[in-house]
Structure 1
Amino acid sequence: MSKVNNFLENKVMPVAAKVAGQRHLQALRDGLILTMPLLIIGSLFLVIRWLPWFGDPERQYMITNEFLQNILNYPYDATFNTMALVAAFGIAYRLAESYKVDGLTAGAVSLVTFLMVTPFKTVFTLADNSTVDVGGVIPTALTGSGGLFVAIIVALLSTEIYRFVVQKDIIIKMPDGVPPSVSKSFVALIPGFVVIIIFWLLRIGIEQTDFQSVHNIVRDLLQQPISKLSGTLVGMLVVVFLVEVLWTTGLHGASIVGGVMSPIWLQAAAENAAAMQAGKEVPHIFTGQFYEIFVHVGGSGATLALVFAMVLFAKSQQLKQLGRLSIGPGIFNINEPITFGMPIVMNPVMMIPFILTPMAIVISTWLGMEFFGVAKPNGAVPPWTTPIFLGGFLATGKISSIVMQLVNFAIAFAIYFPFMKAYDKTLVKQENDAKNNAA
């Protein structure tokens, strides 16, 4: 372990420090952190809304009252479904600050630009299962994590254009007697106009293609290769790799990949259930429950083990406190506080175990189910928020799944621990430097 730590500290960390110090990566990190308190608040309501119920096999969730379900969704919708909006503002604000131009205005321009490239329409399903397109509606699917990658692109590009125009002094200057707030608003006129015009023309151009929107470009170009994957070990490894890589760039990998793979996994689960009812051996290992219950314990990246490592062994105040705040949601497989708060997104150190850990768990679980008698998913569909061990038992009906999840947790802990310690050591130094400077 000491050799691994030395390698990370002497070889990986210096390179990572240079990468992390890059202006745009810093803006991404600091801008996404702005979403953290909102996600933590939303996570609490999400956990309550989807608390599992185990007394009756016909009943999945503790809260079944429709009124309570609806009102518990309000805080979740208001936090998770506005993540891209908050990020569009926060990233642009921090990037503009690094260029020493007005961050507040740059953030506002970025937010408006993101909304401008987002189509204001959505599809509603009627009682007769027919659908209708409704215009003038901002789709929350694109203002939440599903639109985050577009928000990042817009924030970086719009701010670069904005600061370029400002630094070229192509602005309206007011007399000295004008209040600063009024003067700044006039300074923003020309650069803001240039940004809006460029993205307006970009949207018009894209609408003349089959893609129709920037969001569709991201969705289609990423989903088409994924659609060729099937329920094989290699396919599952590719799926999980893509999910984690997308998350490390700020894109909701589980949503994008899951949308394509869900039909394949649902069919596999149905065939497993039919085999169970017929008293036959279940044919499939790779179902949605394999993915949700065994691989992504704690959320994408299998971060529950990381949370426990932070709580038990972190020295920096940042990781200790973040671990305490994240352990509750993490038990119910909600890890946005870790993903965006640590952050793992665009973090060159923590991206490595975030990708490697779930891939190692895929292999270990496949080996256990294929060769060592671990029960395969039986077609039951426990909620994705079901905690570790209980979720494994419900998905298979066998104690062997609990043992498998315990082994997977140990694997995840062993992979995450040295990277967490190396990152923690850097944060401790930063905190000590900050204290010394303050003194």
Structure 2
Amino acid sequence: MFNKLEAVMMPLAEKLGKNKVLVAIRDGFLITTPLIIVGSLFLLFSNFPIPGWENFWNGILGPNWSSWFGNVSGAIFDMVGFLSCLGTAYAYGRELEVDPIQAAAVAIVGYLILTPMQVVIKGVPDPVGAIDLQYLGTNGIFLGLVMAIVSVLIYAYVAKKGWTIKMPDGVPPAVSKSFEALIPSGIVMLIFFFVRIAFEFTPYETAHNFIFEILQTPLKGAGNTLFAQIIYSLACTIFWFFGINGPAVANSVFAPITKVLTMENLNAFQAGEHLPNIFTDPFSNFFTNYGGGGSTLSLVIVMILFCRSERITKLGKLSLIPGIFGINEPIIFGLPIVLNPVIIIPFILVPTINLLLSTLITKLGIIPYTNGVSLPWTTPIGFSGYLSTGSLVAAVWQFMLLALGCVVYYPFIKTLDRQYLKEEAEAANKKTEDEDLSFDDISFEDL
């Protein structure tokens, strides 16, 4: 059975891992991730979920202190669509082996060509020349991804056709590259110039409206379901079973959707409004898996407390500190979990149970929706539950799920423990027999 499953999954994972578009989207989000995390820290500080926090700092820094932090978080979250376009275009240019900086610049220009440059202000008779940040923020993520892929694809096609201006050998490389990019960049800009005009003759008026109403809203709705989250969880754990980084593959498909859902919660949190979505990035990171994929922190705890095999207990102790911070490669490849038919069952089952129970308890209102603040995925259990929801109950719930995971993992790891104990005993007996051999046992009288 496992051979058949491997025969199906390995080609699929290899195909997804080599798809340049999916790789570009994945790496493009990774480029923006440090900025989002830092911006989230500023946002978290200005909205820390402790009663009296704001009043305390008002007395020290004055009433405007939160706006200082808001300037930093706003510079990132109000530009997340723009940044997604930038990062994805750079990554895709690299994949297509063209100048990634120039590819990113062309994509950004194309993105801005399709973006309305006028804002209607109440009380002002004429539109004001400006860009509404809603087009550069969450609502612009999907258009940013589309623009990054399409514009770089056109740019690379034109450049590889040789439709460029070649400069003499003595010209500095920077000057030569800029002239080589002239015609490909001009063609990309010209195409989206006509696209912009074409949209003005449609009921949508702009590409942003078209993307949001026709594409983003349905996809977001599909991703904001329990069924989709179960598929995501199963994909991550099954890929890990074959030694493939599951989230790295699955996030190529799911990350653009959950990013939008997360940003919607963040915007509502900042505005003091009702949080609309359960299935955000923090929910997936902090309420389904503890210690990495498969929620292996539970497994590590059982290994330390209840196993007797020297191999398992030592590995458990070495893996505890990394596991607390969500790093579980020592367990994945050291136990191993990869291609281990004994551990694969709880490895899939535990995060699925966590997902189902966390969804239920959130819908019942026992724990709040996650606030959209993008904490580092390495945030330890307890802290992550509290900071992502502002609720101590959520932190307690995490530890309850951690304990439940220990119960599920226990019979399976004990089975493996008995197997390893037997192997260690056999190895020890063999070593003893080898040590009993001595040159004193050899007699030359029989020769």
User: TM-score per shorter chain, which class?
Assistant: 0.5 to 0.7
1:166 aligned residue (155, 159, 165): 159
2:78 aligned residue (67, 81, 104): 81
Alignment of 1:124-203 (within 5 A): 135-203=128-196
Q: Deviations over 1:42-75 (max 9, x none)?
A: 12111101102336xxx88865554111001122
Distance of aligned partners of 1:178 and 1:67 in 2 relative to their CA distance in 1, 3 Å threshold: same
Q: CA deviation at 1:238?
A: 7.7
**Alignment partner, residue 40 of structure 2:** 43
CA distance in 2, matches of 1:94, 1:37: 16
1:207 partner amino acid: E
Gaps of 5+ in 2: 233-250, 301-314, 328-347, 374-382, 409-447
Alignment check: 8 A CA contact 1:241 1:359 kept: yes
Alignment check: 8 A CA contact 1:146 1:255 kept: no
Q: Deviations over 1:326-385 (max 9, x none)?
A: 9xxxxxxxxxxxxxxxxxxxxxxxxx99x9788624653389x5xxxxxx569x999776
SS at match of 2:385: coil
Q: Deviations over 1:294-346 (max 9, x none)?
A: x65x724354553643795799xxxx9998599xxxxxxxxxxxxxxxxxxxx
2:129 partner amino acid: G
Q: Deviations over 1:169-217 (max 9, x none)?
A: 1111222222111111111111111101111111111122121222211
Q: CA deviation at 1:248?
A: 2.5
How big is the alpha-carbon RMSD for the aligned residues of Structure 1 and Structure 2? 5.1
Q: Deviations over 1:5-61 (max 9, x none)?
A: x99866535422321211111222222211122112112111101102336xxx888
Task: Say whether 1:253 aligns with 2:260.
Answer: yes
Q: Deviations over 1:221-246 (max 9, x none)?
A: 357769999xxxxx975898999998
Q: CA deviation at 1:414?
A: 11
Task: Say whether 1:67 aligns with 2:25.
Answer: no
Distance of aligned partners of 1:131 and 1:247 in 2 relative to their CA distance in 1, 3 Å threshold: farther
Alignment of 1:246-325 (within 5 A): 248-249=255-256, 252-254=259-261, 288=275, 299-303=282-286, 305-306=288-289, 308-309=291-292, 324=325
Distance of aligned partners of 1:114 and 1:324 in 2 relative to their CA distance in 1, 3 Å threshold: farther
SS at match of 2:292: helix
Distance of aligned partners of 1:256 and 1:76 in 2 relative to their CA distance in 1, 3 Å threshold: closer
Identity %: 26
SS at match of 1:171: coil
Distance of aligned partners of 1:322 and 1:26 in 2 relative to their CA distance in 1, 3 Å threshold: farther
CA distance in 2, matches of 1:54, 1:105: 49
Q: CA deviation at 1:87?
A: 2.7
**Alignment partner, residue 106 of structure 1:** 103
Q: Rg larger in 1 or in 2?
A: 2
Alignment check: 8 A CA contact 1:389 1:405 kept: no
Q: CA deviation at 1:218?
A: 2.3
Give aligned pairs, total: 332
SS at match of 2:82: helix
**Alignment partner, residue 245 of structure 2:** none
CA distance in 1, matches of 2:29, 2:390: 36
Alignment check: 8 A CA contact 1:24 1:95 kept: yes
Distance of aligned partners of 1:224 and 1:324 in 2 relative to their CA distance in 1, 3 Å threshold: closer
Task: Say whether 1:116 aligns with 2:113.
Answer: yes
Alignment check: 8 A CA contact 1:226 1:239 kept: no
Distance of aligned partners of 1:7 and 1:24 in 2 relative to their CA distance in 1, 3 Å threshold: same
Alignment check: 8 A CA contact 1:301 1:357 kept: no
Gaps of 5+ in 1: 230-234, 267-286, 327-351, 370-375, 416-439
CA distance in 2, matches of 1:393, 1:111: 37
**Alignment partner, residue 436 of structure 2:** none
2:181 partner amino acid: A
Distance of aligned partners of 1:186 and 1:35 in 2 relative to their CA distance in 1, 3 Å threshold: same
Alignment check: 8 A CA contact 2:287 2:398 kept: no
Distance of aligned partners of 1:392 and 1:78 in 2 relative to their CA distance in 1, 3 Å threshold: closer
Q: CA deviation at 1:388?
A: 3.2
Q: Deviations over 1:244-273 (max 9, x none)?
A: 9985235743268779x99xxx8xxxxxxx
Distance of aligned partners of 1:321 and 1:172 in 2 relative to their CA distance in 1, 3 Å threshold: farther
SS at match of 1:299: helix
CA distance in 1, matches of 2:406, 2:7: 22
CA distance in 1, matches of 2:159, 2:37: 36
RCO higher in structure (CA 8 A, sep ≥6): 1
